[in-house]
Every structure is written in structure tokens, then in C-alpha cells.
Amino acid sequence: MALTITCPVCGKRNGYEFKYGGEEKGPRPEEKDLDPRAWCDYVHMNKCVAGVQEEWWFHKDGCGSWFTILRDTTTNLEIEKKEAQNDEQV
């Protein structure tokens, strides 16, 4: 796999070691008065960005932690978080 992923514990490793965990969508919504459609959207709807997205990865063949990275879906390359944050500030 050409993708490398930077695990916060183990550092930059081969993408083979990780399992994808979906787009970052924020914590689970409160269940009280939750609209069924909103719930369904939370679980199933994705933005499918063509560009940089924040997403979850699990280091399955490593430390076993869940974390997010920024990945450019058009190049399948990880973007360093610092770089991206600086861009946002500009």
C-alpha cells in the first residue's frame, strides 16, 4: 500500500497496518428527541470529499489506538496536521 499513516503512538507506518474507521463526524448525538432521519444520517451519510478530509484509523497491527489523520483523497496521501492547520489560519 502506497499510503503511510502517522500513528500518534508508533509514528509513520505502512498503511497495511491500519484499518479505516470512517470520516470524522463528531461524537454520538444525544438520544433524547433524536429524529430518526438525523440518526440515520449520522450513521450512514458521508461527505465523500474530493480533497482533504479528517478520518479515523485504527492501528490494528500495532498499538491498537484509534486516531484521526488528514488525508487527501485525490492523491491518497496523508497531510501533516500542522501544515493543514496553518493553512486554515491563513
Q: Which of residues 51-70 bind other proteins (CB under 8 A)?
A: 56, 58, 60, 64-66
Q: Give 37's DSSP letter.
A: H
Contact with other proteins (CB under 8 A) among 27, 48, 50, 88: 27
Contact with other proteins (CB under 8 A) among 26, 48, 50, 89: 26
61 close to 19: Cβ distance less than 8 angstroms: no
How far is the C-alpha of 35 from the C-alpha of 61, rounded, in Å?
38
Rule CB under 8 A: is residue 36 a binding residue for other proteins?
Answer: yes
How far is the C-alpha of 24 from the C-alpha of 71, rounded, in Å?
12
CB-CB neighbours of 20 under 10 Å: 12
Q: Which residues bind other proteins (CB under 8 A)?
A: 1-4, 14, 19, 21, 26-28, 30-32, 34, 36, 39, 43, 56, 58, 60, 64-66, 75-77
